[in-house]
Amino acid sequence: MRHSWVALPLLAALISASVPHATFAAESRRTAIVLAIESNRDSVVNIHGQKLVTGDDDAASGEQRRVNGMGTGVVVDARGYIVTNYHVVEGVRRIEVTMASGKTVSATLVSHDPRTDLAVIKVACETPLPVICIGTSSDLMIGETVLAYGNAFGYEHTVTRGIVSALHRDVEVTRTQQYQDLIQTDASINPGNSGGPLLNINGEMIGINVAVRAGAQGIGFAIPIDKALAVVTQLLSAERVDKTWHGIVAKGGGQQGVIVEAVHRESPAETIGMKAGDVIMRIGDNAVRCQLDIERGMIGHKAGDCVWLTVSRSGAEERLELPLAAARQLSMSVDERSWLELGLRTEPVAAAKVQKLQTRYRGGLLVKEVRGDGPAADQGIRAGDILVGLHVWETISSENITYVLDKAREENLGPLKFYVLRGRETLFGHLTGDTIRR
């Protein structure tokens, strides 16, 4: 009996001594990659459903067959708003979403943009959902470690690791679907990964996985998060979701808030004295770090509701009560519209001056000023250039710009090809503005 009394404490001591060692060993394996996955797991969902497709053999007869579709989504708002690729949910009769917990719920399509292949869906949720950690794609480095996360071949929450192989890739997937300015990675991206996050080593989403190259190994592509957020901000705008209007045009973002770039005339924001240069720090109790946060703070309210904004002006904080109005067709001058939608201020140039430089043009618009974060600046247009064409139309007067922008909205033209004279040389590119897409 005495012998047993001595042995049991000894055994207990041995066990207690081994537990801390085992715990330490496990913690030592908890690398940055493990932490990145653990911190985002609950904000990544699996999407599946059935859709009707026309096979190559059936194209002539028009016969369709039902196929099972699958993809991935990321939660961007705790109320159940989820971003994915449009091709994942296009034509799906009933969108089913499986959460990390294993619970499956139905989702509705809120809005979409076929040109960029992005969509927002929504699930009903009784408790707030974990939101993905959003980073930036502006400082990506070729060779840095990235992680692809998604529903690869139906295997839920599959993680693959790779590096950024290249930036600014243009990819043609089909005759009707082309992508521009993608991140190329060798992290394995497979069917079912579409719409899932591409994470950096800190666990921040820096891209949305979108495509693979048929017949190639180790080549996948993702939409840079900065570009994706610009589209998602429009897809989740209060004007689009709730038909309400605030009138704020913002830019940039970071830990200290988002800068107001412009305020629409006669808008709710103008009525309470908001102006360019204000920094929106919080909406209600929620921090604002990107323009999407502004829209997230506005949705869920109806016209007449008031939203509290914390704004920084000249180093001092102010609280402003913003009353939302019913969405309406904006009445802007041509100059205002060109500045807000294209990031340009222009004035007509005499036809003789333009033809002296290049005889093929009947006139043009001299670029007087370029907005630093606008579509024109992104494409390298600068003051002194002469805008001679947009899409398939010439730009001789400011009214020509209005006509083209109206057409872009009505016919969903996508990026607008532009032509500028710089000296005697004609340069061209594509303008992609947030307002153009709306």
* Judgement on whether residues 170 and 45 belong to the same structural domain of the protein: yes
Average pLDDT, stretch 115-124?
92
- Choosing from 77, 113, 117, 226, which is the catalytic residue? 117
Confidence (pLDDT) at 59: 45
pTM exceeding the 0.75 threshold for the entire prediction: no
* Judgement on whether residues 68 and 216 belong to the same structural domain of the protein: yes
Do the domain assignments include residue 302? yes
Do the domain assignments include residue 345? yes
Confidence (pLDDT) at 234: 86
Residue 99 binned pLDDT confidence (cut-offs 50, 70, 90):
very high
* pLDDT tens per residue across span 218-257: 789 999 999 999 889 988 989 888 889 999 988 777 778 9
Average pLDDT, stretch 112-127?
90
* Judgement on whether residues 164 and 276 belong to the same structural domain of the protein: no
Among 236, 269, 298, residue at a domain's last position = 236
Do the domain assignments include residue 378? yes
Confidence (pLDDT) at 69: 80
* Judgement on whether residues 214 and 354 belong to the same structural domain of the protein: no
Is 3 noted as a catalytic residue in this protein? no
Do the domain assignments include residue 72? yes
Among 283, 300, 326, residue at a domain's last position = 326
Looking at residue 130, which CATH number applies to its domain?
2.40.10.120
d(CA 416, CA 390): 6
* Judgement on whether residues 307 and 360 belong to the same structural domain of the protein: no
Confidence (pLDDT) at 146: 98
Confidence (pLDDT) at 315: 82
- In this structure, the strands spanning 104-113 and 155-172 are unpaired
* Judgement on whether residues 284 and 256 belong to the same structural domain of the protein: yes
* Judgement on whether residues 198 and 286 belong to the same structural domain of the protein: no
d(CA 151, CA 73): 9
Do the domain assignments include residue 36? no
Confidence (pLDDT) at 249: 86
Confidence (pLDDT) at 58: 46
* Judgement on whether residues 74 and 151 belong to the same structural domain of the protein: yes
Confidence (pLDDT) at 216: 65
Average pLDDT, stretch 364-390?
91
Is 246 noted as a catalytic residue in this protein? no
Among all chains, which residue has been given the structure tokens 């295997």? 155
- Choosing from 137, 165, 194, 338, which is the catalytic residue? 194
**pLDDT over threshold 50, residue 152:** yes
Is 117 noted as a catalytic residue in this protein? yes
* pLDDT tens per residue across span 157-187: 999 999 999 999 998 876 667 788 999 999 9
Domain count, the chain: 4
Higher model confidence: residue 179 or residue 32? 32
* Judgement on whether residues 338 and 322 belong to the same structural domain of the protein: no
- The number of residues making up the chain comes to 438
Looking at residue 402, which CATH number applies to its domain?
2.30.42.10
Do the domain assignments include residue 264? yes
Domain that holds residue 17: 2-30
**pLDDT over threshold 80, residue 372:** yes
Among 236, 253, 270, residue at a domain's last position = 236
* Judgement on whether residues 195 and 247 belong to the same structural domain of the protein: no
d(CA 154, CA 71): 8
> Of 5-9, 212-216, 424-428, where does mean pLDDT reach its minimum?
5-9
Do the domain assignments include residue 35? no
**What string of H, E and C letters represents the secondary structure of the chain?**
CHHHHHHHHHHHHHHHHHHHHHHHHHHHCCCHHHHHHHHHHHHEEEEEEEEEECCHHHCCCCCCEEEEEEEEEEEEECCCEEEEEHHHHCCECCEEEECCCCCEEEEEEEEEECCCCEEEEEECCCCCCCCCCECCCCCCCCCCEEEEEEEECCEEEEEEEEEEEEEEEEEECCCCCEEEEEEEECCCCCCCCCCCEEEECCCCEEEEEEEECCCCCCCEEEEEHHHHHHHHHHHCCHHHHCCEECCEEEECCCCCCEEEEEECCCCHHHHCCCCCCCEEEEECCEECCCHHHHHHHHCCCCCCCEEEEEEEECCEEEEEEEECEECCCCCCCHHHHHHHHHCEEEEEECHHHHHHHCCCCCCEEEEEEECCCCHHHHCCCCCCCEEEEECCEECCCHHHHHHHHHHHHHHCCCCEEEEEEECCEEEEEEECCHHHHC
* Judgement on whether residues 91 and 147 belong to the same structural domain of the protein: yes
* pLDDT tens per residue across span 47-60: 998 876 655 544 44
d(CA 410, CA 408): 6
Do the domain assignments include residue 352? yes
- Choosing from 43, 48, 77, 87, which is the catalytic residue? 87
* Judgement on whether residues 182 and 253 belong to the same structural domain of the protein: no
